[in-house]
Structure 1
Amino acid sequence: MSTESGRIAKRFAALKAEGRAGLVTFITAGDPDLETCRALLDGLPAAGADLIELGLPFSDPMADGPAIQAASLRALHAGTTARKTLDLVRGFRTKDADTPVILMGYYNPIHAYGVDRFLADAVAAGVDGLIIVDLPPEEDEELCIPALKAGVNFIRLATPTTDEKRLPAVLQNTSGFVYYVSIAGITGTASADNAAVAGAVDRLKSHTDLPVAVGFGIKTPEQAANIARVADAAVVGSAIVTRIADGLDAAGKARPGLVEDVLGFVRDLAAGVRRARG
């Protein structure tokens, strides 16, 4: 399957036909344990997630704030590996053939796995895209180019500090969509200024025909709706991961009702996104 005709392209085309933005949800693979994560992953599409980002747990997630760092550690303590992450996607695909799944994380676990083997196994499992935050465009031969050749979208981040000189390099081999990081800094901290986001989306769209998804700092259905008015998708990660953490007992185990509570929050976010454009 080519990156131009895959699930991500089809989903954004369908959203455009519906006249609305999408909701992209992030959870960390194996957080708080593989069984609970499997239930969350399987339930996200019905709760309103249009695309799913699944975090590859890593011991040093330097671009992430405390919530996602803690989620990564919980997942690692639960025994989650890159192979088990792909197993989660494989299981998800037996129930859902259409919702795009994007793995988000850092290069180290993929490098340790072996790039060619990882890409072959990712394609076989049903992975649609990769967001690898610590590989700049100068390192495209390392993973980006092999991923594109394998039919896996390679999604790049643009930030408020990505200037006109840098932007062409960022966009050159990007596919699927562009992920605009609406604030400078780590995930799950400040919230974005709506006018600044609208201007940034316009600027990106003057350089690319790819959809633009906006994330970092979206915590409420109202904030998701604000983003959905100006972008092609709103990405919510830390707020969902925090909701998972809130459902754990003192020993870090999932309390009864955690999955239903998190999916209920996703439904509220989805409702905000869906009503954003009237």
Structure 2
Amino acid sequence: MTHRIDQTFADRKAKGQAAFVAYMMAGDPDRGTSQAFLNALPDAGVDIIELGIPFTDPMADGLVIENAGIRARAAGTTLTSVLEMATEFRKTNDTTPIIVMGYANPLHHMGYTKFAAAAKAAGVDGAIIVDLPPEEDSELRDAFAVHDLALIRLATPTTDAERLPRVVAGTKGFVYYVSMTGITGDSFAQAGSVKEQVARVREAANLPVVVGFGVKTPERAREVAKDADGVVVGTAIVKTLHEDGPESALALIRTLADATHGNAT
């Protein structure tokens, strides 16, 4: 439901702050640990949750997130169980937006209409489907529209002026700006100005723009938050959760959220 997303950005904007968006892989390392971690994210400062759907061929993901997906699938995680996790989360939290993030195949297999209805029932607010371009997402977009779900698209440094209007058309909630050409977890791109790119995408979409891919540290989050409406961190969180456990990952999230919220947009 897009009202939760819209309200989140409005609340942060009123405070002169960017929103902090955290990615986690659903079901990693197991259902119980993952559910407890998901439930703890808002109290750690997370404004919007990206809940990853494990997939066998994650072409946009680096090794850290790819391995998290392997662990999640080995633990029995499915698209249905990801939605069950969202349902459980909603028992205690009705305000923090949840965006599921993944690839088209599992949704297509379930059926876009069935998925949209199930996502709505689970309290999901939208989805980022990284391998479904605007030319091929009309069926999913139509199914989402019935339930007021946001289909969030990606813009990149290579999205030129001719293609950008097509990318943002039909996008709801926000636009996810990929800060570099590459996979998740790579070094943050130095070429080009994030400030200029965010302004360009924001003007075209008339929506908030969040920046992700390559944001790993509080220092980088603070820098990006000066220009963006939101900052996304994924790989650093997934890596810390796997290597050091939930408490260390939540401690990292708190520092990232504090850094993000400490900057006016």
State the TM bucket, normalised to the shorter chain: over 0.9
Q: Which residue of 2 aligns with 1:150?
A: 147
Q: Is 217-226 or 109-118 further displaced after alignment?
A: 109-118
Return the alpha-carbon distance in structure 1 between the equivalents of residues 104 and 137 of structure 2.
12
Return the alpha-carbon distance in structure 1 between the equivalents of residues 253 and 264 of structure 2.
18
Runs (5+) with no aligned partner, structure 2: none
Q: CA deviation at 1:259?
A: 1.5
- Segments ≥4 residues shifted beyond 4 Å: none
Q: CA deviation at 1:149?
A: 2.5
Return the alpha-carbon distance in structure 2 between the equivalents of residues 194 and 123 of structure 1.
39
Per-residue CA deviations over 1:40-63 (Å, capped at 9, x if unaligned) read 100000000000000011111111
Q: In the alignment, is residue 75 of structure 1 matched against residue 72 of structure 2?
A: yes
Q: In the alignment, is residue 228 of structure 1 matched against residue 215 of structure 2?
A: no
Per-residue CA deviations over 1:116-164 (Å, capped at 9, x if unaligned) read 1111111001000100001100012231222123211000000000000
What residue identity is the alignment partner of 2:70? L
Number of matched pairs: 265
Question: 1:194–1:227: 8 Å Cα contact kept in structure 2?
Answer: no
TM-score of the pair, normalised by structure 1: 0.93
What residue identity is the alignment partner of 1:264? A
Q: Is 127-136 or 148-157 further displaced after alignment?
A: 148-157
Name which of 88, 91, 116 aligns with 2:85: 88
Return the alpha-carbon distance in structure 2 between the equivalents of residues 60 and 137 of structure 1.
20
What residue identity is the alignment partner of 2:248? D
Return the alpha-carbon distance in structure 1 between the equivalents of residues 259 and 69 of structure 2.
28
Q: Which residue of 2 aligns with 1:252?
A: none
Name the CA shift for 1:194/1:94 in 2 (closer, same or farther; >3 Å): farther
Q: Is 194-203 or 112-121 further displaced after alignment?
A: 194-203
Alignment of 1:177-196 (within 5 A): 177-193=174-190, 196=193
Return the alpha-carbon distance in structure 1 between the equivalents of residues 206 and 59 of structure 2.
30
Runs (5+) with no aligned partner, structure 1: 248-257
Q: Which residue of 1 aligns with 2:26?
A: 29
Return the alpha-carbon distance in structure 2 between the equivalents of residues 142 and 116 of structure 1.
8
What residue identity is the alignment partner of 1:59? T
Return the alpha-carbon distance in structure 2 between the equivalents of residues 205 and 114 of structure 1.
32
Alignment of 1:94-105 (within 5 A): 94-105=91-102
Q: Secondary structure at the match of 2:127?
A: strand
Question: 2:53–2:79: 8 Å Cα contact kept in structure 1?
Answer: yes
Name which of 150, 156, 160 aligns with 1:159: 156
Alignment of 1:262-277 (within 5 A): 262-277=249-264
Aligned-residue sequence identity (percent) comes to: 50
Question: 1:194–1:226: 8 Å Cα contact kept in structure 2?
Answer: no
Return the alpha-carbon distance in structure 1 between the equivalents of residues 72 and 219 of structure 2.
30
Q: Superposition RMSD on alpha carbons, in Å?
A: 1.3
Return the alpha-carbon distance in structure 1 between the equivalents of residues 238 and 131 of structure 2.
21
Question: 2:165–2:205: 8 Å Cα contact kept in structure 1?
Answer: no
TM-score of the pair, normalised by structure 2: 0.97
